[in-house]
Amino acid sequence: MLGRVSSQTDDIRTSPAAKFALVLSLLLAAACSSSKHPTRDGAVPTDADTGTDAAGSKDAAIGKDADGTKDAGNKDAAMTKDAAVAKDAAGTKDAAAKDAGPSCTFGQATSQASASDLSLFGTPAYFNNDQPLPAGTYRLTYVDGCMKYGSGQGWTVNAYANGTDAWWLVGATPSDKILVLPGTAGYAPDAGAFSDFASCVSASLLSPPVTFTHTGGVLGVWLQDSPYSDNTAGEDDRNPTWRLDGVTCTDAGTPHTGDAATGQ
């Protein structure tokens, strides 16, 4: 009986149907195995490994984006800070320019009188290259020079503060007198005048500037005195000299022929 069962089992193992079933099962197993991709070392990645990689990629992407956002934020903050610094600097510069006072000048004026031609004391000398000035607010400042009103007198600018014998700011003609120009007043040494030229200049430089309103037209300096022949011109022809500044101008150093209030 045992020998018969063993013989039947061998027949089943060697039958074509059994062999076919065995081959089919091996092919199916191989097909299932090939559905997973091997890693570089030949190992089949697990779902956990795949999930870890995906999570790592996600985290890396989020980290990268966060760094980019942070860098962009830092850059924007830096730009904002730079803009604030630039604005503050511009504000400081504008404030300094405003505090500096007059922002444009219309030049200087002085008499061309000399020892060889004292009569020129009676000829007006005009600011702004003899060109008309726009209406506006102006400031006159003493710059240099002195003279003598007679032999034996001292160095001075104005003989009398009331303008009887003194330097005047004038318009188109000497009869258009506007104001007495700044400088020392007096003609006798130690009584408003000085025995030496340098002391007269130093004292006159302490004279405060004069601010006034101009209605428009030419402006010049002229000496009211008579006669001119007994006067003495300044040392090296350094006669009294003044500078004219526009208080409300905006272009530094540029003469204007427009509205002084706007600087155009």
Q: What is the pLDDT of residues 79-112, one digit of tens each?
A: 445 544 444 444 444 444 344 443 599 999 999 9
The 10s digit of each residue's pLDDT in 175-187 is: 999 999 999 999 9
The verdict on residue 87 lying in a domain is no
How large is the average pLDDT for residues 45-59? 43
The verdict on residue 262 lying in a domain is no
Domain of residue 196 covers: 107-246
The predicted structure's pLDDT at residue 28: 65
The verdict on residue 54 lying in a domain is no
In percent, the amount of the chain with pLDDT more than 70 equals: 55
Residue 132: C-alpha distances to residues 214, 217, 259 (Å): 11, 4, 12
The verdict on residue 146 lying in a domain is yes
73 or 238, higher pLDDT:
238
The verdict on residue 261 lying in a domain is no
Please choose, from the candidates 137, 134, 139, 142, the residue with its C-alpha nearest in 3D space to the C-alpha of residue 109.
142
192 or 31, higher pLDDT:
192
What total number of domains does the chain contain?
Answer: 1
The most distant pair of C-alpha atoms in the chain lies apart, rounded to whole Å, by 172
Task: Find all residues with CB under 8 Å of 103, minimum gap 6, and list them.
Answer: 97, 246, 249, 250, 251, 252, 263
The predicted structure's pLDDT at residue 205: 98
The verdict on residue 251 lying in a domain is no
The verdict on residue 71 lying in a domain is no
Give pTM, 2 decimals.
0.58
The verdict on residue 187 lying in a domain is yes
Q: Is the pLDDT of residue 69 over 50?
A: no
